[in-house]
A and B are shown apart, each in its own frame.
Chain A
Amino acid sequence: MIRSVTAILIKDFVSELRGKEMLLSMLVFSLMVAVIFNFSFPPGSEFIQEAAPGIIWMTFIFAGLLGMNRSFVYEVDKGCLQGIMLAPIDRAVIYISKLIVNFVFILLVELIALPLFVVFFKLDILGSPGYLLLVVLVSTLGFAVIGTLFSAIAVNTRTREVMLPILHFPVAIPIIICAVQATAAVFQGQEWAVVWGWTKIIVAFDVILFIVAFLTFEYVIEE
């Protein structure tokens, strides 16, 4: 199992580092949004700091959906997913590998974009960068857990690009609410208990939805 997961990871990383389609599009998108949102507030407005957590997470979700869509389109383009399914590996291996790939790529983009958001929006994270990192980690995992499942579905529909957000958003609402609130708590310099109050719901989401997605994934990819 570990060997097959590694094989798929190597394949995806090599291919992505060569083309950088997913990473570049996600990164450029995030940066553009950061700049554009600045224009939607009056210059020097204090309000942008309050709105920052929401802006940051909406940007990351949209960027993540962009990337996850790509990652399955590229699997089904030449029937490669069928090629993988012909190999003597469990279907769960495919889910785990694609989940890791999506998680790592989105996280990478977030870690590059986040400092820029902090600079652009004049935010203060120096108080507790560790808390922020934790929130980013668990939230991104949650996005990827359902995003990997849903992008495997969306790629088979007539409206590939539109279907993924339509499936993803309503189900991701717990993460959206909690990630925004936890991030706001970090920016406001609140104590750990407050941040954890939100984060624990995201953790519960990650665990429960992972189990469901893990169990149902094989029904999605069966031809």
Chain B
Amino acid sequence: MISYTEKESNRTLIVLSAVVLIAVLVDLFLIFQFAPEERSMGHVQRIFYFHVPSAWISFLAFFVVFVNSGLYLWKRDRKYDLLASTSAEIGVIFATLVLITGPIWGRPVWNTWWEWSPRLTLFLVLWFIYIAYLMLRSFVDEEEKAARFSAVFGIVGFVDVPIVYLSIRLWRDIHPSPVIAGGQNSGLHPDMKIAFFFSLFTFTVLFFLMLLHRLRVERTAIAVRELKRQMAY
């Protein structure tokens, strides 16, 4: 039975890897060749095609954490815990990308490395919440307890996000931010739109590929730990 599911997941992995490989190549072409240069910001605007999809993927990842945390507490099936924790790791990676690409974009455009804009601030908070989530998991010795605690934190953390955003936005209102030349979604050139949405698609399939790989690694690690535990007597 184990070998059957292994085979199944191998096939899925190969297909998905191929899709991601092609998508990434096409995406790079679209971003650097196909999409026109932005008039006021120049080439640096192309970071937009990485920045925004990264943000979208981290939201998706943290939503996956939230859903699977709830499912874990309800069903007590370890697979939900695995999905939640691996998704949190990937979410943190993409949130980190958001926090790196943001300043790179912001430096030439806003003339500052860090701007307490509501969205960037929100991502900083998100990043802290899910770093705390991962730390919590590694600081609890029993695996079952780690799963329960992090599931609770995964739910609380996600529910908190809208309130965090609300408070940050209100806080920004009294410290007005510099006017950003051209809103991100206002008057996007049709070719830019194509590149953007394809980029979104590429990042999404990449997310699922990473999730699958990470799940496989984690399952193997658990199997090894279990074998060691059985041999320890």
Residue of B nearest to A184 (CB): B174
Bound complex: CA A197 to CA B155 (Å): 27
The answer to whether the Cβ of A163 comes within 8 Å of any Cβ in the partner chain is yes
CB-defined contacts of B140 to chain A, threshold 8 Å: 156-158
The answer to whether the Cβ of A167 comes within 8 Å of any Cβ in the partner chain is yes
Which of B128, B149, B167, B174 contacts A153 (CB under 8 A)?
Answer: B149
B154 to chain A, nearest CB (A): 10
Bound complex: CA A208 to CA B161 (Å): 12
The answer to whether the Cβ of A170 comes within 8 Å of any Cβ in the partner chain is yes
B31 to chain A, nearest CB (A): 33
Are B163 and A205 neighbours in the complex by a CB distance under 8 Å? Answer: yes
Are B156 and A216 neighbours in the complex by a CB distance under 8 Å? Answer: yes
The answer to whether the Cβ of B104 comes within 8 Å of any Cβ in the partner chain is no
Bound complex: CA A181 to CA B175 (Å): 12
CB-defined contacts of A213 to chain B, threshold 8 Å: 156
Are B139 and A171 neighbours in the complex by a CB distance under 8 Å? Answer: no
CB-defined contacts of A219 to chain B, threshold 8 Å: 73, 148, 151-152
CB-defined contacts of B166 to chain A, threshold 8 Å: 174, 201, 204
A74 to chain B, nearest CB (A): 20
Chain A 140-152 per-residue mask, 1 if CB under 8 angstroms from chain B, else 0:
0000001001100
Residue of B nearest to A185 (CB): B174
Bound complex: CA A205 to CA B170 (Å): 15
Which of A167, A174, A220 contacts B164 (CB under 8 A)?
Answer: A174
Are A169 and B151 neighbours in the complex by a CB distance under 8 Å? Answer: no
Are A170 and B129 neighbours in the complex by a CB distance under 8 Å? Answer: yes
Bound complex: CA A198 to CA B148 (Å): 34
B129 to chain A, nearest CB (A): 4
The answer to whether the Cβ of B159 comes within 8 Å of any Cβ in the partner chain is yes
Bound complex: CA A177 to CA B145 (Å): 32
Q: List residues 179-213 of chain B with CB under 8 A from any CB of chain A.
A: none
Which of B128, B163, B170 contacts A208 (CB under 8 A)?
Answer: B163
Bound complex: CA A45 to CA B5 (Å): 70
The answer to whether the Cβ of A80 comes within 8 Å of any Cβ in the partner chain is no
The answer to whether the Cβ of B14 comes within 8 Å of any Cβ in the partner chain is no
Bound complex: CA A41 to CA B128 (Å): 30
Are B152 and A220 neighbours in the complex by a CB distance under 8 Å? Answer: yes
The answer to whether the Cβ of B52 comes within 8 Å of any Cβ in the partner chain is no
The answer to whether the Cβ of B136 comes within 8 Å of any Cβ in the partner chain is yes
Are B149 and A156 neighbours in the complex by a CB distance under 8 Å? Answer: yes
B104 to chain A, nearest CB (A): 24
CB-defined contacts of A208 to chain B, threshold 8 Å: 159, 163
Bound complex: CA A24 to CA B38 (Å): 61
The answer to whether the Cβ of A14 comes within 8 Å of any Cβ in the partner chain is no
Bound complex: CA A177 to CA B172 (Å): 11
Bound complex: CA A23 to CA B79 (Å): 44
Are A174 and B136 neighbours in the complex by a CB distance under 8 Å? Answer: no
Knowing A146-B156, A219-B152, say if A177 contacts B129 (CB, 8 Å).
Answer: no
Can you list 27 A-B contacts with CB-CB less than 8 angstroms, sorted by A residue number?
Answer: A146-B156, A156-B149, A157-B139, A158-B139, A159-B139, A167-B136, A169-B128, A170-B132, A171-B160, A174-B166, A177-B168, A177-B170, A181-B171, A197-B170, A198-B170, A201-B163, A204-B166, A205-B163, A212-B156, A212-B159, A213-B156, A216-B155, A219-B148, A219-B152, A220-B148, A220-B149, A220-B152
Given contacts A153-B149, A158-B141, 8 further A-B contacts (CB under 8 A): A156-B140, A163-B139, A170-B129, A171-B156, A174-B163, A201-B167, A209-B156, A212-B155
